[in-house]
């Protein structure tokens, strides 16, 4: 397959992605304009439809424990290495004296 053909495939796939975005936007537009049985809007404001601050907080919270777990894991590994090094050094002192 030539480079041109690969680039055309990539271009067409990018077009499909853009098409999907447009359809998602159309779907959200219909959803945002939804009304209840009495004809009143389901969403009184944009914030009731999409709470930006809440989503940002969720994303940040989801990433925070992962960093904490890595830090705790690293601390455990370092403590294990330090303990092994201490035992090694103690063993050398006893044998070396």
Give the pLDDT band of residue 24 (cuts 50, 70, 90): very high
Range of the domain at 27: 1-49
- Residue 40: exposed, middle, or buried by beta-carbon count in 10 A (0-12, 13-18, 19+)? exposed
Count H helices, E strands: the chain? 3, 0
Give 69's pLDDT tier (boundaries 50, 70, 90). low
Give the per-residue pLDDT at 71.
81
Query: Across residues 82-92, what is the average pLDDT?
Result: 88
- Whole-number average pLDDT of the chain: 86
Q: What is the pTM of this model?
A: 0.49
Please count the structural domains in the chain. Answer: 2
Clarify whether residues 30 and 61 are in a common domain: no
Residues 34 and 57 in one domain: no
Is 45 in the same domain as 55?
no
Q: State pLDDT tens for residues 27-41.
A: 999 999 999 999 999
Same domain, 66 and 41: no
């Amino acid at each position: 397959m030539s480079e041109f053909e690969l680039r055309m495939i990539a271009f067409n796939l990018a077009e499909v992605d853009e098409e999907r975005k447009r359809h998602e936007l159309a779907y959200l537009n219909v959803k945002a304009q939804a009304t209840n049985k009495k004809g009143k809007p389901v969403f009184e404001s944009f914030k009731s439809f999409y709470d930006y601050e809440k989503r940002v907080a969720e994303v940040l919270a989801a990433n925070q424990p992962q960093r904490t777990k890595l830090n705790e894991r690293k601390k455990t590994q370092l403590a294990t290495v330090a303990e092994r090094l201490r035992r090694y050094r103690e063993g050398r002192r006893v044998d070396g004296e």
